[in-house]
Structure 1
Amino acid sequence: MNGGWFMKGKRLRSFAAAALSLGLAAAMVPGMVAGPEPAAAADQSQWRMVWNDEFNGANGSAPDGSKWNLIHAGGGFGNNELQYYTNRRDNSYLENGNLVIKAQKEEFGGHAYTSAKLTSQNKGDWKYGRFEIRAKLPYGRSVWPAFWMMPTDSVYGIWPKSGEIDIMENRGDQMNKVSGTIHYGNDWPNNVWSGADYLLPEGQSFADDYHTFAVEWEEREIRWYVDGLLYSTKRDWFTPGAAFPAPFDQRFYMQLNLAIGGPGTPFTGWQNPDDSVLPQRMYIDYVRVYERIGQDTGGEHVTADYAAGVTKLSASQAKIYIRPVTAARYVDVHYTVNNGIQQNLRMANRNGTWETTVSGLKAGDKIRYWFTYEKNGPQYDSPQYTYTQS
């Protein structure tokens, strides 16, 4: 998807031009990216699951409101999309261990189609990790399912300067292909994107069966997978006025949606929808989030009480932070560096986020840390976490 306004046209034209100039169109083969990188297997043994939704609620029930926001809005979303996203069970519901997102032909809110969009903003926000979905995709002209991430805080400014990570996008009349992309750089029309496609073998369709789509996002590298096979790696991006790896060094949240493109929507081919195939359903078996084992370089830990983690500030400094859900009167942090002398400090409250800076670090130093925090009177201790300075 695209968090900016009226950008898919430039993206589509640029993608085609880049492919032709590099001779990549002829290089697209099943199980491969449209480019020189061969598919390789993912090593999932290095990741620990820290968040998930298996969608195992009662048939017909709503998605878990503690994990997801249901968008209720229309307006084209910057791409001249035709659907109105609703929070009704007509468009999103649980069924037989799946989340179902249904797009249908229906007059609603001044739009000719309805569908659903879920976000995890302020309920599941992370900096770095592995983000994975298992899903069976819908099909049809102008049908546009996506699993993607947007910045929680937009630290570097409006789209695309604070970044966008598209984990999986599909065009419904090209059912053997999915795309993975990052957006970044200067304001439109000088924005930048970088992406790749994954193709199924001839005759197969992402609508026929379930497939897994994942991204592994680390400090200086982002990798894309389909069914455990690596097909794209990115190590180069930028944003104005900030050092690499900005903008992909801040918290992002997940989005799941099923859009309907129209004659003004470049990604779906500037076409009218094929109403004869509607309604269409996207079936999502699970969504899972992982952090790397023994190499925590800033992944956020989210609990019912708080979100906490460590942010690298420089080669020699890192910031420990905690953001309580309920306003706290005080928070203390306890930490060691390389199992040295334990430090116990009252943290500084900066607009609801409590922070402490650790200095004198070098690459490979390990911080072990935990918190003591007040919540509605009583005092609580958090689990212990670790962070390794990169």
Structure 2
Amino acid sequence: MLKHLFFLSFFFFISCAPKQTDGWKLVWEDDFNQAGGPDTATWSKIPRWHPDWAKYMSDNEACYDMADGNLILRGLVNPDRSSDTATYITGGVYTKFKRPFHGGRLEIKAKLEGATGAWPAIWLKPFEEEKYPWPSGGEIDIMERLSYDSIAYQTVHSNYTHHLNLKKDPPQGSTAPIDPDNYNVYAVEMYPDSLVFFINNIRNFAYPRIETDKEGQFPFDRPYYLLIDMQLGGVWVGGVDSLDLPVEMKVDWVRYYRKD
């Protein structure tokens, strides 16, 4: 009996202890198991805006769902253009003004449906965005996928890469294979002198701070907010095939770690 109680106590301790991976200690997570939609203390719906990625963003409930422990973001043909004239509507959430991430390791487990013109993305923008407008504050793209691709893109943007067009010294991004029919885990580790990107725990590439007299090469040592969105269409991904819609992006969890 004592041995049995000890085992149960030990199991309870292990199951309740903070999750750790390779020296990282889990300090925050959202597994999307709560009822009533995403936690509004952390997440807000992304509003429509003029860039390609945001031109179909909508607060329409048809673009959002919570099911089986997943946050579901949809892109679909607009079912009612009498009040909203957009051809398509898409769902996206962000932690802007609510939850910053500075340093540490950020992981997102997601499953991406394919569609012609689908452009799901998981990325980071400066928490003090008004103080550091794009691209001066930097952009960290943890995952972008185009249409039916079996690869994902991981990229950084800054004044150095965009305005000065210095994209190869050091390389600003890379691609890596994904399982297009299942969940994949996308991650970035943020250090004062580098960003390191992973897909399914396999290191994809790193973007280091280098010695240079050029402006804005590494603006990434600052707080960022997280965006997760099911985008449609644009110059990069191309046109949308409405016959492929609706398309879904399922997010199983988001986890943020710090060094133990």
Whether TM-score is above 0.5 comes out as yes
The answer as to whether partners of 1:74 and 1:111 remain within 8 angstroms in 2 is: no
- What secondary structure does 1:276 align onto? helix
- What secondary structure does 2:128 align onto? coil
Distance 1:210 1:49 in 2: 20
Q: Is the aligned partner of 1:71 residue 2:49?
A: no
Partner of 1:131: 106
Distance 2:49 2:76 in 1: 14
Within 5 Å, which residues of 2 pair with 1:119-198? 119-154=94-129, 157-174=132-149, 176-186=150-160, 189-193=163-167, 194-198=172-176
The answer as to whether partners of 2:109 and 2:254 remain within 8 angstroms in 1 is: yes
* 1:45 CA displacement: 2.4
Partner of 1:199: 177
Partner of 1:97: 69
Distance 1:240 1:69 in 2: 36
Distance 2:183 2:60 in 1: 25
Q: Is the aligned partner of 1:57 residue 2:34?
A: yes
Deviations 1:240-291 (A, max 9, x none): 667x7x41111111000011114xx12x1xx321111100010110011111
- What secondary structure does 1:111 align onto? coil
* 1:292 CA displacement: 1.2
The answer as to whether partners of 1:216 and 1:222 remain within 8 angstroms in 2 is: yes
- What secondary structure does 1:63 align onto? coil
Which amino acid letter does the alignment assign opposite residue 253 of structure 2?
Y
Distance 1:239 1:57 in 2: 49
The answer as to whether partners of 1:162 and 1:239 remain within 8 angstroms in 2 is: no
Partner of 1:386: none
From the superposition, tell whether residues 145 and 247 of structure 1 become closer, same or farther in structure 2 (CA, over 3 Å): same
* 1:192 CA displacement: 4.5
Greater relative CO (CA pairs within 8 A, separation 6+): 2
* 1:220 CA displacement: 0.8
Give identity over the alignment, percent.
Answer: 26
Partner of 2:188: 215
Deviations 1:6-42 (A, max 9, x none): xxxxxxxxxxxxxxxxxxxxxxxxxxxxxxxxxxxxx
Which amino acid letter does the alignment assign opposite residue 153 of structure 2?
S
Match 1:47 to one of 13, 18, 24: 24
Aligned residues: 233
Which amino acid letter does the alignment assign opposite residue 149 of structure 1?
L
- What secondary structure does 2:22 align onto? helix
The answer as to whether partners of 2:58 and 2:90 remain within 8 angstroms in 1 is: yes
RMSD: 2.4
Q: Is the aligned partner of 1:258 residue 2:208?
A: no
Distance 1:286 1:56 in 2: 9
* 1:44 CA displacement: 2.5
Distance 2:65 2:130 in 1: 33
Which amino acid letter does the alignment assign opposite residue 44 of structure 2?
N
Partner of 1:234: 207
Distance 2:193 2:130 in 1: 18
Distance 2:75 2:139 in 1: 24
Q: Which consecutive residues of structure 2, in runs of 5 or more, have no partner in the other structure?
A: 1-19
Partner of 1:353: none
Partner of 1:313: none
From the superposition, tell whether residues 179 and 127 of structure 1 become closer, same or farther in structure 2 (CA, over 3 Å): same
From the superposition, tell whether residues 70 and 82 of structure 1 become closer, same or farther in structure 2 (CA, over 3 Å): closer
Distance 1:117 1:211 in 2: 19
Which amino acid letter does the alignment assign opposite residue 219 of structure 2?
P
From the superposition, tell whether residues 219 and 291 of structure 1 become closer, same or farther in structure 2 (CA, over 3 Å): same
- What secondary structure does 2:209 align onto? coil
TM-score when scaled to structure 1?
0.56
The answer as to whether partners of 2:47 and 2:54 remain within 8 angstroms in 1 is: no
Deviations 1:153-193 (A, max 9, x none): 1487421111010001100131x100111111259543545
Partner of 1:352: none
Distance 2:38 2:109 in 1: 16
Within 5 Å, which residues of 2 pair with 1:24-39? none
Deviations 1:209-264 (A, max 9, x none): 1111111111112111111111111113679667x7x41111111000011114xx
From the superposition, tell whether residues 97 and 163 of structure 1 become closer, same or farther in structure 2 (CA, over 3 Å): same
